[in-house]
């Protein structure tokens, strides 16, 4: 991978990190702004419970994505960026341009997903 492509991917990763950090901060602030409220009935309570669960799941996804972005940025610094965690072959640049924090090449990802299903 040439230096121009690597710099472009690093910039994308840093943009993603900044956006995720903003989303995480907003979710944390939103949770602080909405203390546990008294609800009028069971249906309202169920709706609020569902909303809280959904926010937690979205938060978990954001944290996982942020972790992957941070790992990718660390790998750039170590000279290990763009290497599949499974087969240790280079991940195609086309894949990295779409998902710059990808850990696996498409072939290994398909194998992993098939094992989990």
pLDDT category at 63 given cuts 50, 70, 90 is confident
pLDDT of residue 21: 83
Greater confidence (86 vs 58) lies with 86
Confidence at residue 59, expressed as pLDDT on a 0 to 100 scale: 74
User: DSSP string spanning 68-89?
Assistant: HHHHHHHHHHHT-TTB-TTT-P
Q: How far apart are CA 6 and CA 8, in angstroms?
A: 5
pLDDT (mean) for 35-63: 66
Cβ proximity of 6 and 93 under 8 Å: no
For residues 24 and 65, the answer to whether their CB atoms sit within 8 Å is no
pLDDT of residue 52: 67
Tokens in use for 48?
């609020």
Identify which has the larger pLDDT, 28 or 72: 72
Residue 76 or 23, more confident:
76
Between 37 and 101, where is the model more confident? 101
- Confidence band (pLDDT; 50, 70, 90) for 22? confident
Would you list the domain boundaries of the chain? Answer: 3-82
């Amino acid at each position: 991978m040439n230096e121009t492509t690597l710099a472009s991917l690093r910039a994308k990763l840093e943009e993603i990190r900044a956006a995720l950090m903003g989303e995480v901060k907003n979710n944390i602030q939103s949770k602080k702004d909405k203390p546990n409220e008294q609800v009028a009935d069971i249906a309202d309570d169920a709706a609020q419970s569902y909303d809280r669960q959904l926010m937690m799941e979205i938060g978990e996804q954001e944290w996982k994505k942020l972790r992957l972005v941070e790992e990718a940025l660390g790998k750039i610094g170590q000279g290990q960026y763009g290497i599949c965690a499974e087969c240790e072959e280079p991940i195609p640049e086309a894949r990295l341009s779409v998902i710059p924090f990808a850990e696996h090449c498409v072939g290994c990802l398909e194998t992993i997903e098939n094992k989990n299903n």
